[in-house]
């Protein structure tokens, strides 16, 4: 039976965060009183990501692709929801944000995203820079943040999903493709995502990667080299 929303979570070695993400979805779904499914596209994890996801009630699709767009597509292939909501494994979904997305779709949106807030453990300067980047990415560029993208399944299938040729900024190109199909809305209610990359990498390195995503030509994003931060970033250790 089809459901209202299919939540697709790409995951690679996310055993510390995946449970909290799935639990946030369950809470939001309960409050919004909709039907749903959670699909975790497990990209060759070497930890307990798959087992934890299954224990939380998610359907797990095992792949070995190491390409974020292709991993998301693999999860979407088994989705049955009218809406597909792509959520990163380190990102939690408040009920108010899900409610805003459902309202946007009810009012004619065929896709979009959500505002983003980062968790604790970063400096004021880092938080300010993240807000500036998001202002340019979402406010000026009009692109959904990769950690939270929603789209009607019929539209996602029509445009052919994420373009797996791109190893970075794939959400930018998907956003542009969705917008060509109809109304695109980024809701002001935020998701809460991990600031771990801000804690692990230097500000200069992050600025370089961000500028590539915003300004570099499409064909240069078809090479994974230099994108280790997106694919092979170290994971934070569990706090004592």
Q: What's the pTM?
A: 0.86
Residues 194-198, mean pLDDT to the nearest whole number? 76
Question: Does residue 111 surpass a pLDDT of 90?
Answer: yes
Is-contact 103 176, C-beta < 8 A?
no
Question: Does residue 240 surpass a pLDDT of 50?
Answer: no
How much is the mean pLDDT over the chain? 88
Give the integer Cα–Cα distance in Å for 191 and 25. Answer: 11
State the alpha helices, DSSP H only, in the chain.
Answer: 18-32, 49-55, 68-76, 95-106, 124-134, 153-159, 170-179, 196-200, 203-215, 228-231
Question: Does residue 201 surpass a pLDDT of 60?
Answer: no
Residues 20-40, mean pLDDT to the nearest whole number? 98
The length of the chain, given as a count of residues: 240
Closest CA to 25 of 39, 15, 10: 39
């Amino acid at each position: 039976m089809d459901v209202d929303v299919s939540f697709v979570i790409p995951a690679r070695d996310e055993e510390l965060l995946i449970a909290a993400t799935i639990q946030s979805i369950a809470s939001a779904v309960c409050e919004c009183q909709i039907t749903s499914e959670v699909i975790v596209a497990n990209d060759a994890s070497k930890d307990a990501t798959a087992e934890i996801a299954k224990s939380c009630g998610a359907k797990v699709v095992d792949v070995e692709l190491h390409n974020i767009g292709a991993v998301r597509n693999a999860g979407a292939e088994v989705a049955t929801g009218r809406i597909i909501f792509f959520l990163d494994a380190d990102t939690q979904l408040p009920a108010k944000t899900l409610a805003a997305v459902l309202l946007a779709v009810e009012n004619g949106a065929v896709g979009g995203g959500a505002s983003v807030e980062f968790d604790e453990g970063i400096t004021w300067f880092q938080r300010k820079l993240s807000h500036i980047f998001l202002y340019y990415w979402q406010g000026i560029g009009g692109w959904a943040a990769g950690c939270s993208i929603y789209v009607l399944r019929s539209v996602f299938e029509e445009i052919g999903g994420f373009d797996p040729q791109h190893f970075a900024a794939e959400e930018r190109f998907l956003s542009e493709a969705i917008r060509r199909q109809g109304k695109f809305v980024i809701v002001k209610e935020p998701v809460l995502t991990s600031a771990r990359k801000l804690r692990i990498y230097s500000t200069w390195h992050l600025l370089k990667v961000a500028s590539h995503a915003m300004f570099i030509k499409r064909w240069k994003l078809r090479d994974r080299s230099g994108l280790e931060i997106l694919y092979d970033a170290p994971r934070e250790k569990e706090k004592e």
